[in-house]
Amino acid sequence: MIICILLCTAKGLYAGPTEDLCYWVGDGALGAVKDALKRGASPNAYCGKKGDYPVIIEASRDAQMLRLLIEAGADVNATNSIGETALTYAANGGRIECVRILLKAGADPNRPTHMLADASAVGKAEIATLLLKAGADINAPGTMTGGTPLDQAIASGHNDIARMLLDAGADPNVQSDRGAKGTALITASRRGDTEMVALLLEAGANPALKDRWGHDALHYATEEGFSEIETMLRNR
């Protein structure tokens, strides 16, 4: 009996249904979660020692668990203490099925706004596409450098995503909102990416725009010795 009490307490079986829900969602125990919900646990419960994140965030790694909580009425846009949602975690973790489930259930791809830029920066093309189709702000700055999704994709060498963003109407002249305050064209020129410079110019990139230090794309192409890019920029 003593052993049973210890084990049951450790697994939350003698706690309230909400505590049970938080424990079992984290443990991936679908049946136990169903039981906790039947016993009155709220699908919108907040978990953690300080109750600082919604249980649906805990479920963002598990497609079946997500479906169960959503069917039970979980708020897909509930945030943790720093404004992140289950979609944030699913997107950052590269969990494509979970991203699809959350977006279909009404998750806001702009809450927080940096999700598309962050997915673009790390080369998650399919997730970036899903977010974009769901209405993500195509020019919203990311958390890494403050650059747009286009700028961050180029900076990380993910030209497939950069092309997709340009095709979808990304503005190549939006400057990063902090740091160097550069443009996608400046980034591509500094990297010596001739193909991307050509694509950006074709898309209407302004070579005269300067960063916070007063330098334009031509300055960096010249400084780095990228003569082909230098010629392209001088001829604009």
Cα gap 89→198, rounded to integer Å: 35
Rounded to an integer, what distance in angstroms lies between the CA atom of residue 69 and that of residue 146?
34
Q: Which domains does the chain have, with CATH numbers?
A: 16-108 (1.25.40.20)
Reported as a pLDDT band with limits 50, 70 and 90, residue 9 is very low
The residue to which tokens 């410079």 are assigned: 197
Is the peptide bond prior to 112 cis by the omega test (within 30 degrees of 0)? yes
Q: Which residues of 121-142 are buried (b: 16+ CB within 10 A; e: fewer)?
A: bbebeebbbbbbebebbbbbbb
- pLDDT, one tens digit per residue, over 149-196 is 999 999 999 999 999 999 999 999 999 876 688 999 999 999 999 999
Cβ–Cβ under 8 Å, residues 49 and 81: no
Max Cα-Cα span within the chain: 84
pLDDT of 106 above 50: yes
Question: What per-residue confidence (pLDDT) applies to 213?
Answer: 95
In percent, how much of the chain has pLDDT > 70? 92
Question: Among 17-26, 78-87, 88-97, 174-183, where is mean pLDDT lowest?
Answer: 174-183
Taking only the tens place, the pLDDT of each residue in 51-81 is: 899 999 999 999 999 999 999 999 999 999 9
Joined tokens for residue 155: 């900076």
DSSP character at residue 82: T
pLDDT tens per residue across span 120-137: 999 999 999 999 999 999
- The per-residue pLDDT for 18 is 86
